Amino acid sequence: MNTFSVEKYQPKFESIWNDFVTTSKNATFLFHRDFMEYHQDRFEDFSLLVFKNEKLIALLPANSVGNDIHSHQGLTYGGLLLNKAIKFGDVLNSFQAVLQFLNDRSIQHIHLKLLPKIYHSVPSDELDYLMFLLNADIQKKEILSVIDLNRKLKIASNRLEGVKRGIKNELKIKEETSFDQFWNTILSVNLKEKHGVNPVHSLEEIEKLRIIFPKQIRQFNVYDKDKLVAGTTIFETKQVAHCQYISANKEKNTLGSLDFLHHHLITNVFKDKSYYDFGSSNEDSGRKINEGLQYWKEGFGARTIIHDFYTVKTENANLLNSVFK
């Protein structure tokens, strides 16, 4: 008889956790413990490991807040991380074991932000179906603007006009190993002026993370002569180039700096990826869309995929008892 068990993450599990992330069908470097723990002072980790007959078959990156558990709030996405060979029945039993484990500890809800499908290396929609079976509440939905690089759409003429302005103004693009100029003179300034916030990652944090993940975290800057005028920070995974930060000075339309930069990244640097992900244009917990930002992304041929967020009652674990007939 198969036995499913759940363990709360401890440092002794670091190696098997990271090894599992490396071979998982739906994980990225964001789930590596070195990435998850750069902000461990801000979150109370409650990550879980699921074993079948003492063999690790699933991970849940998570943190706790009161009587609730969250797909780790320090990460862009989350959910149940699975190995490539796992079948649906084991996914169901794994998640049921997680819910029962939490319920036994008086944890009432688990809040999940699922991994967008562009990050799946093989089909992995099991958790989407389990949300239906568990009567999960939709917490919010966000739209991500994504270019399918294997089936690119025609770039809009106004975006190409921006590229031409960049060429005419003799802008130069450089990949940099330092983030300080972009962070201090453009990104942080713009976020503070427009939204009253700081970047999710401090300068110290992003530089520390890049040292650990030099192939995955990349910075591209645009210069007008010697002046920095725009930049973007890319989180690169096996299939996806994701724009973590995009920002430019007030001359961006005149210079064509952002059009020039992203056209170069899409058509040259990341042309062999499957997807180029501009990220979300949502505001107000997914209820509003920044129309101008969405228009700009779609001009490059980006189209919409959904990022789902759910809340599940742990007491509903019993709803998975009789799924199979």
Q: Rounded to whole angstroms, how far apart are CA atoms 235 and 217?
A: 5
Can you say whether residue 232 is alpha, beta or left, with left for phi > 0 and alpha for psi between -120 and 50 degrees? beta
> CB–CB of 199/295 below 8 Å?
no
> CB–CB of 127/314 below 8 Å?
no
pLDDT tens, 29-73? Answer: 999 999 999 888 889 999 999 999 999 999 999 999 999 999 999
DSSP SS3 for 292: helix
Q: Rounded to whole angstroms, how far apart are CA atoms 284 and 304?
A: 18
pLDDT of 199 reads 94
pLDDT tens, 278-324? Answer: 999 999 989 999 999 999 999 999 999 999 999 999 999 999 999 99
pLDDT tens, 257-266? Answer: 999 999 999 9
Contacts of 1 (CB under 8 A, 6+ apart): none
Beta bridge partners of 305: 144
Model-level pTM? 0.95
Return the C-alpha torsion angle 79, 271, 243, 258, nearest 10: -160
> 182-193 burial, b if ≥16 CB within 10 A, otherwise e?
bbebbbbebbee
Return the percentage of the chain with pLDDT > 90, whole number. 96
Length of the chain: 325
Q: Is the pLDDT of residue 14 over 90?
A: yes
Q: How does DSSP assign 117-138, residue by residue? A: GGG-SS---HHHHHHHHTT-EE
- Which among 113, 81, 91, 105 is positioned nearest to 16, based on CA atoms? 81
Q: Is the pLDDT of residue 1 over 70?
A: no
Average pLDDT on 161-170 reads 98
Residue 92: pLDDT band (50, 70, 90) is very high
pLDDT of 267 reads 97
Other Cβ atoms closer than 10 A to 88 = 13
Pairing of strands 240-248, 275-280: parallel
> 213-233 burial, b if ≥16 CB within 10 A, otherwise e?
beebbbbbbbbbeeebbbbbb
- Which among 155, 105, 142, 96 is positioned nearest to 324, based on CA atoms? 96
Q: How far is residue 20 from each of residues 35, 127, 213, 265, measured CA to CA in Å?
A: 15, 18, 17, 31
**Which domains are present in the chain?**
4-140+309-319 (3.40.630.30), 151-273 (3.40.630.30)
